[in-house]
Amino acid sequence: MLIDINDVSHRYPGRAKPVVDDLSVRLDERRIAVIGANGSGKSTFARMLNGLVIPSVGSVNIDGLHTSRHGSQIRKKVGFCFTDPDSQIVMPTVAEDVAFGLRRRGWSKAEIAARVDDQLATYGLERHAEHAAHLLSGGQKQLLALASILVTEPDLLIMDEPTTLLDLRNTRMVADLVSGLPQQVVMVTHDLDLLADFDRVLVFDQARLVHDGPPAEAVAFYRALMGVDA
């Protein structure tokens, strides 16, 4: 899927400075990471990719669709995983939450149930189908969030710091899961250890894209930018 961003800048109401400024980039790699300090613009950039944020200036096109005009079509193609899975768990039980995204497909209850069972088994949640979703562990919640997004089979998955609230074991579990996904992935992260297998890494600083390259090169640039020894 081609992500085509042209001359984009964005200011939130009441803020004098842009949070993303003078951005033009074309992305079509399978695994793309976005890194940068807090407040550098990377999360706003991620939200532009599925129309959660419409830029003040410029255009964002996803697979030929303009985010300001084709939002509903884009959100069928693009899944978004937030930092805190509690913010996107919407149903009382695990099975109901996974089924939620399938309700408008015109499927029978039996078809939805079979798809949900298969998805829960894929993510190791089959024993928790009837459990209260918000009472799962942090790692299980992040798996549920992913399962509920990916059950709709998006072409592109956007992940905004998906491992920030996880311990080391669950971080590794999510990283391994992401590496095996067939979907194109754009991941915003502070965890530089996750980047080795990515195809391309964007570095943001003070609202601008300041480096674009392979993982080792981008991480070295970012460490130098932050004044941190390699």
Print pLDDT tens along the chain (230 aa).
Answer: 999 999 999 999 988 899 999 999 999 999 999 999 999 999 999 999 999 999 999 999 999 999 999 988 999 899 999 989 999 999 999 999 999 988 878 788 999 999 999 999 988 899 999 999 999 998 899 999 999 999 999 999 999 998 888 888 888 888 888 889 999 999 999 999 999 999 999 999 999 999 999 999 999 999 999 998 65
Query: Is the CB of residue 158 less than 8 Å from the CB of residue 50?
Result: yes
Using DSSP, state whether 16 is helix, strand or coil. coil
Q: How many domains does the chain have?
A: 1
User: Does a structural domain hold residue 43?
Assistant: yes
Provide the CATH number for the domain around residue 186: 3.40.50.300
- pLDDT value of residue 167: 87
Query: Is the CB of residue 46 less than 8 Å from the CB of residue 209?
Result: no
**Burial per residue of 193-227, b for 16 or more beta-carbon CB atoms within 10 angstroms, e otherwise:** ebbeebebbbbbbebbbebeeebeebbebbeeeee
**Greatest Cα pair distance in the chain:** 57
User: Does a structural domain hold residue 166?
Assistant: yes
DSSP string over 92-107: SBHHHHHHHTTGGG--
User: Does a structural domain hold residue 133?
Assistant: no
**pTM score of the predicted model:** 0.92
User: Does a structural domain hold residue 129?
Assistant: no
CB neighbour list of residue 168: distance below 8 Å, 6 or more residues apart? none
User: Does a structural domain hold residue 161?
Assistant: yes
Eight-state DSSP code of residue 214: -
User: Does a structural domain hold residue 138?
Assistant: no
User: Does a structural domain hold residue 150?
Assistant: no
User: Does a structural domain hold residue 118?
Assistant: no
Eight-state DSSP code of residue 166: S
> Residue 23: which domain range?
3-89+155-226
